[in-house]
Amino acid sequence: MRIVVSAARLMLALMAVAQAALAFEIEDHAVFPASPERSVLRIISTADLDVFRPILLAFQAENPGVTLDYTITGTSQLMAALHEEGASFDLAISSAMDLQTKLANDGFAQAHASPAAETLPDWAAWRNEVFGFTQEPAVIIVSRAFFGDDDVPQNREELIRPLRGNPDRFRGKIGTYDVRPLGFGYLVATQDSRRSEAFWRLMEVMGSLEARLYCCSGEMIRDVAKGRLALAYNVLGSYAAAELRRVGGFEIVEPTDFVNVMLRSALIPKSAANPGDARRMVDFLLTLAAASGLPAIDPDALRANSALHPIRFGPGLLVFLDRMTRDSFLNSWESSLFQVRGLP
């Protein structure tokens, strides 16, 4: 009898191991239990818990009885979870607009005729399946300590000039995204490349100065704030603003030639077990007040500053996800950035 039980336990343990091996990487996981619990809303998201906690609590205050199960993962991990592994979540929140678009295009999202979405500008939603709910610019941050009294470059041309003029001063002191993993870094880099040739010149210069590559905005901001970097290119503006309030020591520059504006978006997967609460959450996110700490969709801000270019949802975003196009883009990018050191 005992043996049978332990055999069963062993089986379960083996299955758990197997599942873990198959599953995507989970960075963090949090549960906001409701009592009494009426339903569970399982969210998979790329947003840090610090950023999202106030939003989740506000939603729970409005919808008591909904337990929130919040799983944090990387953008490509989220894509893999839903697209390849068939993981079941009720809501997917991601900053990777291209991957969200691909999920919807390939039929992994379900439609939601949200009344709140009707007021959205047409570039902020797609097919009633992907709903943008924040607008976050990709910015340059510069170290106050490093630049001192020098003029801070305000656009890409102004940035290229001092880098070329003083290579020794900036060598190893520039940070940008490693665009090779899919995510925010790849998205803004590809959008940069399609908006201006200055992008490639900037990448060439950065490569010659042995720019340091980062996985995430947070680390870049931290290194600039500490003075380890002179500047970081293509940092998520909302994080930078939050860090600036918290620690300071750097300056945020919205380039005057053009600023890519990324939309954080939500979609309801086809496999959602609790689409009702997911729809409520989408509507809640769309009516998000600025108090949540995330910048809400605001067409007036775009009208006020013509350099702000929102990245549009639509089939165009599928282009740089294409295998051959991506290979070609990364080839160019690597040959620019690893011209001195060579590919690691």
Partner 1 sequence: MKPRGSIRRRLVLQLVGVEAILSVALFVVVRAVAQRAAEGTQDDILAASATSIADSLRTEGGQIRLELPYSALSMLGTLHEDRVFYRVEAQGGILTGYADLRPARAQAGRPGFSTYDYRGEDVRAVTVLRSLGAGTQQEVAVTVAQTRQGLEAISRKITATATAVGAGFFLLATALSLLAANHALAPIARRTEAVTRRGPSDLRPLSVAPPAELWPLARALNGFMARLRGSLARTEDFIAEAAHRVRTPLATVRAQAELVHRRLNDPDKRRAVREMIRAIDETSRSAGQMLDHAMVGFRSENMERRPVDLRDLVRETCNRLAPTADLREIVLRQDLPDAPVTVEGDPILLQAAFLNILDNAVKYGPHDSAVTVSVTDGAQVAITVRDRGPGFGGADLKALTGRYVRGESTAHVVGSGLGLTIAQAVA
| Positions that interact with partner 1 (CB under 8 A) | 104-107, 126-128, 194, 312, 314-316, 318-319, 322-325, 328-329
Q: Which is nearer to partner 1, 101 or 238 (CB)?
A: 101
User: How many helices and strands, by DSSP H and E, does the chain display?
Assistant: 14, 15
* Positive or negative torsion for Cα 208, 209, 210, 211: negative
To partner 1, the closest distance from the beta carbon of 229 in angstroms equals 31
Distance CA 190, CA 170 (A): 24
To partner 1, the closest distance from the beta carbon of 195 in angstroms equals 10
To partner 1, the closest distance from the beta carbon of 127 in angstroms equals 4
Q: Which of 142, 124, 141 is nearest to 133 (CA)?
A: 124
Q: Which is nearer to partner 1, 74 or 269 (CB)?
A: 269
Q: Which is nearer to partner 1, 131 or 250 (CB)?
A: 131
Distance CA 140, CA 154 (A): 9
**Do residues 265 and 208 lie in contact, with contact meaning Cβ atoms separated by under 8 Å?**
no
To partner 1, the closest distance from the beta carbon of 201 in angstroms equals 19
Q: Which of 224, 208, 216, 185 is nearest to 329 (CA)?
A: 185
Q: Which is nearer to partner 1, 121 or 218 (CB)?
A: 121
Q: Which is nearer to partner 1, 233 or 313 (CB)?
A: 313
To partner 1, the closest distance from the beta carbon of 131 in angstroms equals 13
Distance CA 68, CA 72 (A): 13
User: How open is the CA angle 229-98-232, to the nearest 5 degrees?
Assistant: 5
